[in-house]
Structure 1
Amino acid sequence: MNKALVLVCLFCFNLSFAQEIIEDEKPKVEKDTILNKTRIKADGVAAVVGEFIVLESDLDREIAQLKAQGADLEGVTRCELFGSLLESKLYAHQAIQDSIIVNELYIQSLVDQQIEGILAQTNGDMNGLLNFYKKDSEEALREEMYEINKNAYLAKEMQDKVIRDIEITPEEVRTFFNEIPEEEIPTFGTELKLAQIVVIPEVTEEAKQAVIDRLNGFKKDVEENGASFTTKALFYSEDSGSKNNGGLLPTMNRKRPRMVKEFRDVAFNLQEGEISEPFETDFGFHIIYLEKVRGQEYEVRHILLRPELTEDAIQKAKDEIENVREKIINGLVTFADAAREFSDEKETKFEGGQLTNPTTQDFNFELTRMEPELYSQVQDLKDDEISPVIQDEDRINRIKFKIMTVTDRIDDHKADFARDYLKIKDLALQDKQVKAIEVWQRETIQNTYIKINGEYRSCDFQSNWLKE
């Protein structure tokens, strides 16, 4: 992890509230067991940013967590880490002033996932977790982690607000590129354009009906026998993201819809306490329990089941794509035409199977930045070569079969304005956003009460935290 990434990761921190001016505390010499250096350490409050106190122990804990996650802190100074922590506090403080709303249900769900994840790695050692956070109960730990995540959420929302409406014109992109010194023009790695044809096994009507009947059984048991919807979701739902929370989803808002349309249409037409009839989305079949309505916000639980695939359906799909591959190799049809005729993947078939890079939104995939799984599937392919049949899966399909090809390859090269316009545009936009954040920070620091204590007064901060 490089220095910039370490500083970006430094969002978790302990929180308290204060309005009063904090007097400097007498420093003491102490051995830093994290960075193995002797340093002067202020005992207690290290800084105040608006309503938030930054404790010396906050930074110690952050350093310990970064090292535990394998971060390389070589070359990263304590002052730089402290400055990043101050930035997070500043964002969170201003978010409160701007009345940014916190999604409390989402934060609580995040805490649950974090604790479960840590316990899974430590064989359920809750006592060890409590000792690390210096807490005497799980409830106290959850309260602190809730505050940590809430303010990290506020900080992220505030930063997004600062840059949300920033746009860049083609002329600004050209100016940005022309101002890059010749020796600093970036080099882009080898890029591939990829295409694929996907065949998905067909689900039988009998399998669909079996799932519908099972969901109706859950619904009936809850409504007529008083069974727990939460428990059924915990045991039976196939949505790995929500089943451990009893099917509880992030709060749905009518004004900011995030779920697929079919899901929203059902959820927003339920009455509080009502369970829906089974319905289908691309992910499978669901029933929804509307737990609570608060204005435009809906708290829902759901159970997801996906129909079973028969062996016959799986074999039929595999035979079909093998046949398509053979036709392409024998020159009976082009890859692009075969994709348009045979592929079951809506996102790519009408583009002749051409894959879109989700990061850049163009057709180019930089070889060194590919997802590992995709890289393993195409790394040995020559231009226009057809891959063997690959068995794959995704969030929607447990099994799918595909063949892939490389339609174009661009070797390592210095950035070219015409060919690499979209990448250069992204760099120019990022540069403009960074400058906007710098202006925002400079102005907000001047208008916010900030107090830096002890050894940190001697830090050479990039931002004017000392207001000199």
Structure 2
Amino acid sequence: MLLKTNNSKFMIKEVALLVFALFFNFSLGQEIIKEEKKIASLNKPKSDSNRVKADGVAAVVGGNIILESDLDRSIAQIKAQGGDLGETTRCQLFGKILEDKLYAHQAVQDSITVNELQIRSQIDQQIEGILPNFNGSMADLLKYYKKNSEDELREEIYEINKSTSLANQMQEKILADIEITPEEVRQFYNNLKKEGLPTFGVELNVAEIVVIPEVTEASKQEVINKLKEYKRDIEENGASFTTKALFYSQDGSKVDGGKLPTMNRKRPRMVKEFRDVAFSLREGEISEPFESPFGYHIVFLEKIRGQEYDVRHILLRPEITQDAIEKAKKEIDEVRAKITDGSISFADAAREFSDRKETKFEGGKLINPVTQDFNFELTKMDTDIYTQIQDLKDNEISDVIQDQDRENPIFFKLVTVTDRIDEHEADFARDYLKIKRLALQNKHFDAIGKWQKETIESTFIKINGEYRDCEFTSNWLKKE
């Protein structure tokens, strides 16, 4: 199926590769041209053009420049990470960089702002992600990126994160109000029929039964008492909340002293239990212990800036006793025995015994988070799920599986494949949600294409050297 990509032919099939490259490429040009004479210098006679080439300026988009080294390092980074460029050309990669710079430039014009603290909080994770490729050596990392110090590297990563955030927010603004009606979906499907309907691969319906070991009231009270003691020590004896979190918190934020990404009242991301407490605090106040799906917390509200809240927390999870684990294992063994001897169906057993609220009322059926239906395309299935069902025949029940997730350090489950849909040509009734998603994606491309066309025309853009010979889909060269 050919869908409109309007900005570059490879936008869909190469998007993951490009995002990867641009996310880790810390050397994309972020310099801002502040004087008109710098822009004018790009248009000087040939004798001066050599000086520009030596400076490595490949393009100017609004107030941003793109250096020749930006593209070279993007390509080198992809290869260093084991990526395969395939048939992707330099011109295509360059076109993607131009698009990102256009978004970022217009975001500034539209007074879109970024959260500096949140952007800087990403830097540690990014450096930790790439250091293993240099055997953990910061010196080798700095040498590769031609930086004199870690601070210099961090500052450049910050500029990259800032530019990316601006570009993402600009795209969100463009697409924010775009919706699609059932009639538009039908029309899109009818147009596809004329061109040739897409084929969807083998799809599976998967169901589960989950039994979670019960936490005793004594274990809950124990962590509540600990959190109260931490709070008392901080408030009465001047102990450090950050230090307490560093030593005692049981989630990933402990390495940052319990600091979480800045919370925003307009764009809440934390679970409701956490939001309700955090947004009720005064600046400098520590909450009483409270429960969320992840355990028990106390929250320290450090700073309020309008709608933004800077918070730290300490998370403790009640201990699960060995007796509770053995009881849960025995229960799921008994459930499996009842299903296998025909005493109860898998779906009814899920409704009666499963502890996973998200699936139990659907007879244990998992919902595909992408398509919002029960179908999982085999080639795109989450690795963990695929591993658990790959050897199962239809309606065969797995052995008891011990597993864990963010909320539960241990639980037991059974899985089964309830239905298998063979590879088939798209059908409007059966595949409506998939077709709707494609239709909306197509409408987004149209909106982005229209926006880009209008914005390119009204923005100063200068392409230098060999890139003027590229065949761009968008009119970057502003040819009539």
Shorter-normalised TM range: over 0.9
After TM superposition, what 4+ stretches of structure 1 lie above 6 angstroms from structure 2?
none
Is residue 2:168 matched to residue 1:156? yes
2:33 is matched with: 18
Bigger mean CA offset, 149-158 vs 258-267 = 258-267
1:272 aligns with 2:264: no
Correspondence for 1:194: 206
**1:177-225 deviations in Å (ceiling 9; x for gaps):** 2222667421111111111111100011111122122222322332233
Deviations 1:308-345 (A, max 9, x none): 11111001001001111111111111211111111111
Deviation at residue 120 of structure 1 after TM alignment: 4.6
Q: Summarize the alignment of residues 195-344 of structure 1 with structure 2, pairs less than 5 Å apart.
A: 195-240=207-252, 242-344=253-355
One-letter code aligned to 1:226: G
Gaps of 5+ in 1: 29-39
Q: 1:255 to 1:183 in 2, by over 3 A?
A: closer
Aligned to 1:115: 127
In structure 2, the residue matched to 1:33 is none
Compute the TM-score of the two structures, normalised by the length of structure 1. 0.93
Specify which structure has the higher proportion of helix.
2
1:36 aligned residue: none
Q: Which residue of 1 aligns with 2:103?
A: 91
Task: Give me the whole-angstrom Cα distance separating, in 1, the residues matched to 2:16 and 2:131.
Answer: 26
Q: Which residue of the partner structure matches residue 458 of structure 2? A: 447
Q: C-alpha displacement at 1:443, in angstroms?
A: 0.5
| Aligned-partner SS, 1:101 | coil
Q: Give the secondary-structure state (helix, strand or coil) at the position aligned to 1:443.
A: helix
The secondary structure found in structure 1 opposite 2:41 is coil
Count, aligned residues:
456
CA deviation profile, 1:19-64 (whole Å, cap 9, x unmatched) = 4224235359xxxxxxxxxxx9664211111111111122222222
* Amino acid across the alignment from 1:374: I
Deviations 1:352-379 (A, max 9, x none): 1111111100011111111111001111
Stretch deviating more after TM superposition (388-397 or 205-214): 205-214
CA distance in 1, matches of 2:63, 2:53: 23
C-alpha separation in 1, matches of 2:19 and 2:160: 16
Alpha-carbon distance in 2 for matches of 1:231, 1:400:
31
1:131 corresponds in structure 2 to 143
Cα distance in 1 for residues equivalent to 2:74 and 2:93: 9
Aligned position for 1:346: 357
The range that moved more, 314-323 or 245-254, is 245-254
Moved more, 273-282 or 437-446: 273-282
Change (3 A) 1:437 1:186: same
Do the aligned partners of 2:60 and 2:463 also contact (CA within 8 Å) in 1?
A: yes
Three-state SS of the structure 2 residue aligned to 1:192 is strand
Deviation at 1:445, TM superposition (A): 0.4
Q: Deviations over 1:384-405 (max 9, x none)?
A: 2211111111110111111112
CA distance in 2, matches of 1:140, 1:291: 28
- Code of the aligned partner of 1:69: Q
Runs (5+) with no aligned partner, structure 2 = 1-11, 43-47
- Whether the 8 Å contact between 1:194 and 1:355 is mirrored in structure 2 is yes
Residues 248-306 of structure 1, C-alpha deviations (whole Å, 9 max, x = no match): 11111222222112111211222222221211111001111111111221100011111
Query: In the superposition, relative to structure 1, how do residues 201 and 331 fare at CA in structure 2: closer, same or farther (>3 Å)?
Result: same
- Cα distance between partner residues in 1 of 2:371 and 2:142: 42
CA contact (8 A) 2:21 2:77 kept: no
**Match among 69, 73, 86 for residue 74 of structure 1:** 86
Partners of 2:63 and 2:186 in 1: CA distance: 43
CA contact (8 A) 1:42 1:56 kept: no
Aligned to 2:65: 53
TM-score w.r.t. the length of structure 2 is 0.91
1:385 to 392, 396, 401: 396
Identity %: 67
Paired residues for 1:165-204 under 5 Å: 165-180=177-192, 184-204=196-216
Partner-residue secondary structure (3-state), 1:194 = strand
The 8 Å contact of residues 187 and 415 in structure 1, kept in 2 or not, is answered as yes
Give the Cα separation in 1 of the matches to 2:328 and 2:391: 25
Query: For 1:405 and 1:243, how far apart are their aligned partners in 2?
Result: 37
Within the candidate set 37, 44, 48, 2:56 is matched to: 44
- SS of the residue 2:92 aligns to: helix
RMSD value, Cα: 1.9
Structure-1 residue corresponding to 2:411: 400
1:420 deviation in Å? Answer: 1.1
Contact conserved, 1:41 with 1:455, CA < 8 A, in 2?
A: no
Q: Secondary structure at the match of 1:321?
A: helix
Change (3 A) 1:124 1:406: closer
Q: Which amino acid aligns with 2:49?
A: K
Q: Which residue in 1 is equivalent to 2:375?
A: 364
CA distance in 2, matches of 1:205, 1:446: 66
Which deviates more, 176-185 or 125-134?
176-185
